[in-house]
Amino acid sequence: MIALKPDLFIVNTSSRFSEKPLEAAKKLEEVGIPTLMLSMPKDPFSAPQEATKLLGKVFNKEERAEEISDFLDKQFALVSKKNLPDKAEKPTVYQEKGSGSKDEYDSTGIQDGWGSIIQYVGGDNIAVGHVGETSKIDPEYLITTDPNYIFVTGHLGYLTPAEAQESMDNTVGQYIQRTGWDKLSAVQNKDVYTFFHDHARNYFTFYPTQKIAKILYPEEFQDLDPDANLKEFYEKFMLLDYEDGVWFYKLGESLDE
């Protein structure tokens, strides 16, 4: 990296910030190359905008940065204006990272990441106050609580549509085969959904935020179209095509639907 002589080393702390980037930053500093750390997980509803404005200053693209930031602010406002966290009665929700299996539970979000989104959209996160140091929920408690909705968050990589469908079916398929899951209301009603895990801490956080809000409160968000808003974001600001991605999956549905 030093041989390339970069003017700046940029690190997104949402990418499981470890000792290696810190070590690299120290070595770069020794030869006069500064490091810019963007704390995306700090607040998924404002950190991307702050990072964008900062990068706008760095690259002398402040007007473009303001345009992106304003777009994101407006997307979150479509949900926040409903004051969903203040609702007296909220649907119950369980979220789990999609790296588990039929026999092994994975971690669940509570205070940050997906936990923040669930709170933001007025969901009653059943894991809050019931998860220990492992960040894994007790299976018996989950079955007894019987959440209304289940969200599995994972990563597909670069797959063809057919491969993506198979991966989704296998992941969610293993989860719903767990002991007692066949009795869960969310499974019986096919209210089990999948999102890309890192979308809880990047520029696309507005998409699962809107999508989950609409799932939990369909009557209040009849006119909200999260997919159209995500497509608009891609058309305005991204180099890739919106159609190239898999953004959402519901149990029992085809990705082509």
Q: Where are the domains of the chain?
A: 1-38, 88-250
Provide the H-helix boundaries in 59-160.
62-80, 114-120, 139-145
Task: Over range 1-28, report the average pLDDT.
Answer: 76
Q: Token pair 């070590």 is at which residue?
A: 23
Handedness of CA 56, 61, 65, 68 (dihedral sign): negative
Instruction: Sort strands 124-125 and 92-97 into parallel, antiparallel or unpaired.
Output: parallel
Mean pLDDT of 50-57: 94
What is the arithmetic mean of pLDDT over 122-149? 92
What is the pLDDT, as a whole number, of residue 217?
98
The pLDDT of residue 45 is 94
For a pLDDT cut of 70, what percent of the chain falls above it? 90
The pLDDT value recorded for residue 252 is: 72
Residues 81-99, mean pLDDT to the nearest whole number: 94
Rounded Cα distance, 241 and 231, in Å: 8
Q: Is 26 helix (H, G, I), strand (E, B) or coil?
A: helix
- pLDDT at 215 > cutoff 70: yes
E strand or H helix at 192: strand 192-196
Using the predicted structure, report yes or no on whether residue 170 has a pLDDT greater than 70: yes
Distance in angstroms (rounded) separating the CA atoms of residues 40 and 2: 25
3-class DSSP state for residue 196? strand
pLDDT of residue 1: 77
Confidence at residue 133, expressed as pLDDT on a 0 to 100 scale = 66
Residue recorded with tokens 């809880």: 200
* pLDDT on residue 241: 82
pLDDT in tens, 133-142: 668 999 999 9
Pick the more confident residue, 251 or 221: 221
Taking only the tens place, the pLDDT of each residue in 234-249 is 999 998 887 767 788 8
pLDDT at 159 over 70: no
CATH architecture group of domain 88-250 = 3-Layer(aba) Sandwich (3.40)
pTM: 0.89
Statement: residue 108 has pLDDT above 80: yes
